[in-house]
Copies of this chain bind each other. A is one copy, B any other.
Amino acid sequence: MSFKGVTIWLTGLPSAGKTTLAHLLGNKIREEGITRLEILDGDVVRMNLCRDLGFSREDRMTNIRRIAFVSQLLTRQGVIVIVAAISPYRESRDHARETIKDFVEVFVKCPLDVLVERDVKGLYKKALAGNLPHFTGVSDPYEEPLHPDIQIETDRETPEASAMKILDVLEKLGYLPETLSREKRKSAP
């Protein structure tokens, strides 16, 4: 079974739920029998490709350009790539779309006050106290997508529901086959 590659690009504030969603979505795609899947987590890529980069606008743009380059190579080889990266700048996400072409932008949205309350890693508090420069959403900008292909609201829907939403769009766009398990999923309550 050979299907077109695609990059599913999850963008959103820190701790909005991108990595969780990426892995859940990845598992669901694997359950459909698709093994040509790669998850590129922003932090992991930073370690491997961008250890030299900081968090200035320019460095963040370079970081995203590199992720886009790698995603493009994988996508054109028929791989489903899930990127989970804050990617705060519209310009660099647009560049990624233009480079990769088979590209689905997913805005993983969560209101700041919810994130501050959750604050899984304690970083929001630190940033709000002024002790974390270049922290996206607090001390660094985040430019919300204007026309994302999919919008997820992690404060209102379960990761499970979000993943299903993405799978449906991928299927509609022809990036996923309609397999038995998907049929089952659809007829499930």
Contact = CB atoms under 8 A, between A and B. Distances in A.
Nearest to A77: B79
Nearest to A36: B77
Given A38-B73, A52-B62, 6 more contacts: A48-B65, A49-B66, A52-B53, A70-B73, A73-B73, A74-B74
Contacts of A77: 36, 38, 74, 77, 79
Nearest to A66: B49
A78 interface: yes
Interface residues of A, number: 17
Contacts of A51: 62
B48 A69 contact: yes
Interface of A: 36, 38, 48-49, 51-53, 62, 65-66, 69-70, 73-74, 77-79
23 contacts: A36-B77, A36-B78, A38-B73, A38-B77, A48-B65, A48-B66, A48-B69, A49-B49, A49-B66, A49-B69, A49-B70, A51-B62, A52-B52, A52-B53, A52-B62, A70-B70, A70-B73, A73-B73, A73-B74, A74-B74, A74-B77, A77-B77, A77-B79
A44 to B, nearest CB: 10
Nearest to A79: B77
Contacts of A70: 49, 70, 73
A120 B96 CA distance: 36
A66 B69 CA distance: 12
A84 B126 CA distance: 46
Contacts of A73: 38, 70, 73-74
A53 B50 CA distance: 11
A52 B54 CA distance: 12
Nearest to A76: B38
